[in-house]
Amino acid sequence: MKEPTDLGIKFRDRIITRYPPMEEADMPHSYDVILVDYRSDDIHKYHVIFWHRLLKRIYQGPSEIEIEFQYGGETVSLRKTQEVYEWTVMGIDESLAARVEAGEIKTSPVNWKYLIKLPSGGIVELGTRDRNTVFYISKVVRSGKSEKEDNEEATKFVDLMIEEANRLSNNLFHPIKDFEKKEGLKLYLLFNVYLSNYLSGEAILGIAESQEASLKTDALKYDARTPDYIDENKRKHIDQSLLTCGTYFCSSVTYFFMALEGFVNLVFHAFLKNNFRDKDFNIEQRFDLEQKLRLMTSLCNGFKENSCLSSAILSKFKTLKKYRNSLFHSKVEESLKSLVFVEDGFVYTYNVDKHKDRFFSLLKPNMTVSDVIEVKNIVDEIVDSILNLMDKDTKMQTQEYILKDPAIRVIVTETGDLILGTKDEHLLETVITSG
């Protein structure tokens, strides 16, 4: 019976036979490169870590690694030797090199590269830059007649690499699955939705009054009480300009409400008790914002015993939620603007929104800067109330990371606990080296 063919080895051998890695003795010490832009869209379709895994699968590790010293951010390069797991340190004096090789000076890898020999005698360099965030393919510059041959061979090499990448596209990298299966300490970053939305709300509030004044000035360019309203173009300008009024006020209100929701969601994500993190139960998705506010102190770690938000704060939240729902859902009954009465042949228009006793105006053109400031104050008051229910350590973490950091670091321990925004260098080093 015929033995099954290992297609992985077959394809890998086809590449490495025609395009072998450079031997240490043949590697150039100083050279210039030109970026190979051929099929760049196909190359960048795959993440850097995909190319890391693919090239390691083919060539069993890089030709050169750039490392960074723990102090000062200085970098040096290590080159692979003939001996397994041994490297030559380049670009530093012998005493410092000895200390690096002996492990006396802590370093971390920041970039890698492969030097691959072309059949033409040329060399291609595959590597990363910008602290391992960008993958590139370059061609080592050689003068003379070899340039045309090098270009042709580099193109064939890129075609072959992309063919192999496409063949293994579903096997080498599955971000979420790979992260979940990873053992030991794990690290991920959260985009700070609270801080982003809160700062956006403040930025729009800062320009809202001047911009709204411009919108109203434009709306009053023509007078609807004069023959201007008979002119179709002028009437259209009046009507449409009025409809844009309140744009900045409404946008700012929206961002402040989203900031509150983002804050509560981040608190739940960071401090939810482990026994409630069941994916089937899925509290973070199933509970609405009001339920989270009411149950936060019971479901999350780090809150004072028997604490809860006051009825006054919950009442303000309900007012805010009702206002937000009115703006977002645009219900017809809440869009009632005017009632028209005819008495003895005279026409009277009654402005419902203006005369109705409401905490906020529900019609965008009638919104004021006071409405926005009141919304901001309520959001601030709810956030402050939540902070005051936390114990000292949890409050400190929340203030330092959720309220300030644009990207929040989260470490997952081996027991599944989350450590928020840690600055523990030893712990971070453990996560990086274990990865």
Contact 172, 53 (CB under 8 A): yes
Per-residue pLDDT, 143: 73
- Per DSSP (E only), the strands in 10-102 are 33-35, 64-69, 75-80, 87-90
Per-residue pLDDT, 89: 61
Per-residue pLDDT, 73: 58
Q: How many CB atoms lie within 10 A of CB 382?
A: 20
Contact 61, 78 (CB under 8 A): no
Per-residue pLDDT, 1: 38
For the chain, what are the domain ranges? Answer: 7-173, 175-192+405-435, 194-391
Per-residue pLDDT, 431: 55
Per-residue pLDDT in tens (0 to 9) along the chain, 435 residues: 344 445 556 777 888 889 999 887 788 878 889 999 999 999 999 999 999 999 999 998 898 888 777 655 567 676 665 555 566 666 666 676 677 667 676 777 889 999 999 999 999 999 999 989 999 999 998 876 678 889 999 999 999 999 999 999 988 998 888 888 888 788 888 999 999 999 999 999 999 999 988 888 776 666 666 666 666 777 676 677 777 888 899 999 999 999 999 999 999 999 999 888 877 777 877 899 999 999 999 999 999 999 999 999 999 999 999 888 877 766 655 555 567 777 877 777 776 656 454 556 667 778 889 999 999 999 999 999 999 999 999 999 999 999 999 999 888 888 788 888 766 656 556 555 555
Reported as type and span, the H/E element at residue 322 is: helix 311-329
- Burial state string for 39-65 with b = 16 or more CB within 10 A and e = fewer than 16: eeeebeebebebbbbbbeebbeebbbb
Per-residue pLDDT, 177: 87
Q: Pick the closest to residue 398 from 388, 387, 382 (CA basis).
A: 387
Question: What residues are paired with 412 via a beta bridge?
Answer: 186, 418
Tell me the C-alpha distance between 150 and 142, whole Å.
8
pTM given for the model: 0.76
Q: Pick the closest to residue 104 from 65, 64, 71 (CA basis).
A: 71
